[in-house]
Structure 1
């Protein structure tokens, strides 16, 4: 009995332990299922994050073999999971990731617990073209017994880099433009005296006089300097714009003979013009200069001959294009393209071609202002310039100008001023030699003087310009008063007994601006006419409004007398 009781007690204890063990196992089983469920949910959660992250993500093993990738990786690089799974990173595509330095940095992440931060890769990727990618990588911890992984994040910064480059270029062009505009103002004052007095000398010296040749050489050098100064004004976007509604074909067709002479017989010139081309609003003479600059640049890129193609087309740019190119707005544009089969350019040269004074030509063969003036002119005209080039293949310049006739099309805003064409500033095109000039516009004819002599007040703080203008006016019968600034001019008007018909005043002077002087002169003598002049080509700092009588420095005697007569005749009418 005692033995049976003891056996029963022992079995009862064992059964209790078994039950407790079973309960523990049940609890472990439930916990395991719960952990498994949590792990499954965690994996689904992680995968959902990977699926929704915009940046491409790749998980690599210690050998840099692709374990998995996010959906954005496949869409960005236009590949499938079958093409990448299980493959080494540096074997993907055209081995764009096969960079020894990059491989070492990635391998160090697991070996030395390092990180990869903002590593930049620029490459021609299969399916998507040339891109700039920014790489960041970290170790992934999966537990003590689990193999370690590397999470690689890839960001396409191509557009960001392009915008940064455009901003950098814009700031640089603005700084250079401000400097160039200021220099041009001072140069134009000096050139006014040089060209003006050489013109007066040529009037005095008869043909055959030994001194006449020297005067002509001075004049020719002055005109060349004036042409260079105009390019400086273009850089500062301070040139006069005379916009008109036109079709680019009407600009190109009359230039064809000039262009063929410029490129020479060894280069085939082909013009493919869209017959139904939309109209644009541009300055005709400046567009002629843009075309000539591009053609001469293409000619120099083909020293052994080749083919030059000029084409026009109507293009419509949609919102998707505008997203990829923020400088554009969606709408209709007119395309002007100049393509050559020349030497082409590397990427470093392409990044600098629009910089002022940058040139690949040998010394004495180029100023480095041709393409920079193209860039500035088109920008001031509301357009865009793009270039594509390949070494040994050629170069293509594309100019996009807003087409007229669509409500959504951005309006082009222009600063205009009334000016007069002169021998120094008449729109001209450089010949192939770059020295002789061929006029594209006819100068305004000189008009006869009035029957009665009139008094003109000349106001300029530059003594050489002031005395030159006074000499030219006196030679045509005008009585002239000279003032070195605004205050002296006001004093002269208060003391002068007779009528002053017109004041010829510089726009920007040290003691008083021309606009302020005109305002005070009008209070003293309301009937006095005002003619502004300046070394700047447009109204500076809002000094002048469109339509105000304006004479650009340097000016010729013909231009000065003609403009003065024009302003005085308005009062007569």
Structure 2
């Protein structure tokens, strides 16, 4: 019986709605019958694979579609037989074209023996997921290395401080003096390693300020020339209108040094190393697929070499602490991890472009400074004689070895001392009326109250009390956004006796 006019109209409306729903899907859809022929598809399916309208139409076979993909250079890792045997709901990444796209296919059997397949281009999503996993891995490694650095810094503080005193006592005995010098050198090297670990873990207190990047690079290159040797040609392509950056200048210099040394090692027969600068604005589109990038204005420093390059299989690991491709004895594997941590803590971005046999380019995207004042520090932190004093200092330190060392050194400098092993004990001293002129406290301590909280409580009871913090590892207690909080004084572990003496006097004065 033929359909009435109203029934035909209703069927057309239903068909139109069905077609609109299919075409509105965010993924490609194609339905095949039991003979592996196309029944219906949407425009997104055609767009994903680039099929022509002449080829893709109802009735065309799966084999014709796969043959067309092969002719156009799109590889496949699944056959018609495999498609036919896939269980319901089976999801596989099956197609990758010459541009590296990844297509996710999910197939569902129909009651008549045919099947419905959804197709989704997940290239960008997978790349974003991979980047997120990498960021999370690096953060986890950072927490681990930061904790290790904290413990080592307590030990190194005692070694570095006491070796100075020991050296003075054996200065007239050459053999013992040579031994103390070796101990000092070893401890200094250990302190350098822990400092790099802290930079990587982003728990090193930075002092960012307005920096003329072009001038800093020019001065750094002067120091690099004798280090890199005559076989490495150094070039400078510095844009004159390069923005100043808001960074810690000493850490930026150290980062450039590490990158230059890595470049030199990648050019064993010599080559060219080029420093470039410029400006860039990273927009929302660029940052969208990168979980660790913020849109904004950046000063770019690019370091290019003509070395051996970095293979794709290790590129994601080059910033991990202690990962190195160099032979034993030719590096700690901390140079690039320090660079990574410094850039991230500075709210910047780092990018690596490399091809085996064609060299490497590493770009540092540093946040633009709005000051542009070009101030430079002239204080070298050195003094001929150790400053002393007679004031009373309250030392709060949970590590007994470090606490005893600090008390001994302070007394040798003329100060009176009182001590506590945690914040609760320190507050008991305050409540009992013990007088002191300076609180010298560790930042991270057990017992539920850290050094910052202790200082706040003491200031409530004794307004105007002078505070000096010390730490080998900060957990955003006195450092936020990569820099010390305003008005905070910090003596980072490990430190020498001379550094302790100068900083104590500086805060008291």
- State the TM-score bracket (shorter-chain normalisation): 0.7 to 0.9
Of 309-318 and 50-59, more deviation after overlay is shown by 50-59
Q: In the superposition, relative to structure 1, how do residues 49 and 525 fare at CA in structure 2: closer, same or farther (>3 Å)?
A: closer
| Whole-Å separation in 2 of the counterparts to 1:294 and 1:495 | 55
Of 213-222 and 47-56, more deviation after overlay is shown by 47-56
Q: In the superposition, relative to structure 1, how do residues 81 and 139 fare at CA in structure 2: closer, same or farther (>3 Å)?
A: farther
Alignment check: 8 A CA contact 1:335 1:399 kept: yes
> How do 1:309-458 and structure 2 match up within 5 A?
309-325=274-290, 327-405=292-370, 442-445=380-383, 449=387, 453-458=390-395
Specify the alignment match of 1:246 in structure 2: 211
Q: In the superposition, relative to structure 1, how do residues 462 and 54 fare at CA in structure 2: closer, same or farther (>3 Å)?
A: closer
Specify the alignment match of 2:401 in structure 1: 464
Kindly indicate whether residue 67 of structure 2 is the aligned counterpart of residue 95 of structure 1.
no
Specify the alignment match of 1:430 in structure 2: none
Specify the alignment match of 1:299 in structure 2: 264
| Whole-Å separation in 2 of the counterparts to 1:368 and 1:321 | 30
Kindly indicate whether residue 23 of structure 2 is the aligned counterpart of residue 51 of structure 1.
yes
| Whole-Å separation in 2 of the counterparts to 1:342 and 1:521 | 57
Alignment check: 8 A CA contact 1:239 1:538 kept: no
| Whole-Å separation in 2 of the counterparts to 1:293 and 1:387 | 15
Specify the alignment match of 1:283 in structure 2: 248
| Whole-Å separation in 2 of the counterparts to 1:48 and 1:300 | 60
| Whole-Å separation in 2 of the counterparts to 1:78 and 1:284 | 51
Specify the alignment match of 2:128 in structure 1: 163
Q: In the superposition, relative to structure 1, how do residues 236 and 245 fare at CA in structure 2: closer, same or farther (>3 Å)?
A: same
CA shift digits 1:446-500 (9 cap, x unpaired) = 67747x7333333323333223223333333333344444455556667788x53
- Cα shift at 1:215: 0.3
Could you say what secondary structure the match of 2:241 adopts?
Answer: coil
CA shift digits 1:348-369 (9 cap, x unpaired) = 3123223333322333333333
TM-score, normalisation: structure 1: 0.74
Q: In the superposition, relative to structure 1, how do residues 482 and 361 fare at CA in structure 2: closer, same or farther (>3 Å)?
A: same
User: Which residue of 75, 90, 94 corresponds with 1:117?
Assistant: 90
Specify the alignment match of 1:503 in structure 2: 439
| Whole-Å separation in 2 of the counterparts to 1:68 and 1:307 | 59
Alignment check: 8 A CA contact 1:336 1:399 kept: yes
Kindly indicate whether residue 185 of structure 2 is the aligned counterpart of residue 220 of structure 1.
yes
| Whole-Å separation in 2 of the counterparts to 1:396 and 1:361 | 19
- Cα shift at 1:66: 8.0
CA shift digits 1:396-428 (9 cap, x unpaired) = 32222333459xxxxxxxxxxxxxx9xxxxxxx
| Whole-Å separation in 2 of the counterparts to 1:52 and 1:61 | 22
Kindly indicate whether residue 80 of structure 2 is the aligned counterpart of residue 108 of structure 1.
no
Kindly indicate whether residue 104 of structure 2 is the aligned counterpart of residue 134 of structure 1.
yes
User: Which residue of 523, 527, 534 corresponds with 2:471?
Assistant: 534
| Whole-Å separation in 1 of the counterparts to 2:27 and 2:160 | 63
Alignment check: 8 A CA contact 2:128 2:289 kept: no
| Whole-Å separation in 1 of the counterparts to 2:167 and 2:495 | 16
- Alignment gaps of 5+ in structure 2: 372-376
Could you say what secondary structure the match of 1:302 adopts?
Answer: coil
TM-score, normalisation: structure 2: 0.82
| Whole-Å separation in 2 of the counterparts to 1:301 and 1:542 | 36
Higher relative contact order (CA 8 A, sep 6+): 2
Specify the alignment match of 2:374 in structure 1: none
Alignment check: 8 A CA contact 1:65 1:89 kept: no
- Alignment gaps of 5+ in structure 1: 1-26, 407-420, 422-439
Could you say what secondary structure the match of 1:540 adopts?
Answer: coil
Kindly indicate whether residue 489 of structure 2 is the aligned counterpart of residue 559 of structure 1.
no
> How do 1:1-20 and structure 2 match up within 5 A?
none
Could you say what secondary structure the match of 2:102 adopts?
Answer: strand
- Cα shift at 1:237: 1.3
Specify the alignment match of 1:425 in structure 2: none
Structure label with greater radius of gyration: 1
- Cα shift at 1:150: 5.6
User: Which residue of 128, 137, 151 corresponds with 1:186?
Assistant: 151
